[in-house]
Amino acid sequence: MKNIPIFHMSSFSRSGETLMLRCLNAHPLIHVAHQILSPDSKEDFKLFRYLQRYEEDSISSENEMVMQARVPSGSVIVVKNAVWCHQYPYKGFALVRNPFSVYRSFSIANEPVKGFMHRKAQMYRWAIGIDKNLIPGVASSSNLESFCALYNRKMQDIINSGVKIIHYENFVQNPEKYLKIICSELSLPWDSSVLKSHEFYSEGDIGHGGIKLWRPIHQGSKDSYKKVCPQDFSRIYGLTYPILNQLGYHVTDEEIMIKE
C-alpha cells in the first residue's frame, strides 16, 4: 500500500485558479481533484469534497475515492482551496491576485437587484467555510465590504500558513519561471507539458469561471484593476491595505507593483 501526497493550492475565488490548475494537471505526475472542466466528473468532485475535511497530508492509493478518481500511481494530488480555510496544517502553495482585479472579475459593481442577492448568498456560503465570525457582517454589509472582509481573512490565513506565494500577475507574465517554482514546492521534476496544457482541450471546452480551456496562457486580464471605478478602488484600497502590504502589492497612482 502506497500513500499519495496531498498538496493544497490555497487562493481566493477569481484569482486565476482554473488556469493554474489546467497547467498543473498537464503534468504526468499531478492529479487535480475537481475544478477544471465544468461540470466536473462525479468521481473527482467526491474526492474533492472528502479532501476538504481531510486531516493528513497524504492518502492511501487504495482509498476507494482515490481509486474511483483514477489517480495515477506515483503521482500527487492537488486540491483547490479557495473558499474555505483548511482546519489542519497543509503543504502546497498559494495563488494570490490583487483584490481590485478580483473584485472586477466578480462584476460586483452596479449589479442588478437579482445579481446583488445572488452575490450576497454566495458570500454568505463562503463565510461559513472561511470564518463563521464573518457571517453577521456579510449579512448586513455591502457586497464590496463583504468581499474585502472575506479576502482579508483568507489572505491572512495564507500568509500565516507559510506556504510559497505565487502572484497571478507574475505567473501570466512568466509562466515557465513560476511553474518551475511550483513543481519544486510539490517535490516534482519539471515537465514542459505544463506550458502546453491548452493543447489537451478542444475548442469549445469551458472550465470553471468561464475560462476557454483551449486558449494559451495570456495576459489579457492582468491589468483589469484599471477598470475599477475610482470610488470603489479607493474603498477597496482602504479596507485591504494591511493585507496588500503583506502580500507585496504596492499601489501607485497608475499601476500596481509587486515586491516579492
Residue 92 lies in a domain: yes
Rounded to 10 deg, the angle between the 143-161 and 113-130 helix axes is 30
3-state SS, 108-136, equals CCCCCHHHHHHHHHHHHHHHHHHCHHHHH
Per cent of the chain over pLDDT 70 is 97
Residue 78 lies in a domain: yes
When pLDDT is cut at 50, 70 and 90, the band that residue 113 belongs to is low
The C-alpha torsion from 241 through 243 and 246 to 252, rounded to 10°, is -30
Looking at the structure of the chain, the number of domains it has is 1
Residue 86 lies in a domain: yes
> What is the reported pLDDT for 9?
98
> What is the reported pLDDT for 115?
64
pLDDT in tens, 156-186: 999 999 999 999 999 999 999 999 999 999 9
Average pLDDT of the segment spanning 225-247: 96
> What is the reported pLDDT for 110?
63
3-state secondary structure of 202: coil
Q: Which letter does DSSP use for residue 41 in this model? A: P
Average pLDDT of the segment spanning 94-109: 91
Residue 149 lies in a domain: no
C-alpha 21/C-alpha 31 separation (Å) is: 9
Average pLDDT of the segment spanning 130-149: 95
Q: Which residues contact residue 210 at a Cβ distance below 8 angstroms, ignoring those fewer than 6 apart? A: none
Q: Which residues contact residue 120 at a Cβ distance below 8 angstroms, ignoring those fewer than 6 apart? A: 138, 139, 143, 146
Does 116 have pLDDT greater than 80?
no
3-state secondary structure of 178: helix
Residue 158 lies in a domain: no
Domain range enclosing 81: 3-96+163-210
For residue 221, which of 3, 7, 16 has the smallest C-alpha distance? 16
Residue 23 lies in a domain: yes
When pLDDT is cut at 50, 70 and 90, the band that residue 39 belongs to is confident
Does 35 have pLDDT greater than 90?
no
Residue 197 lies in a domain: yes
Top-confidence residue, 23 or 210: 23
Residue 22 lies in a domain: yes
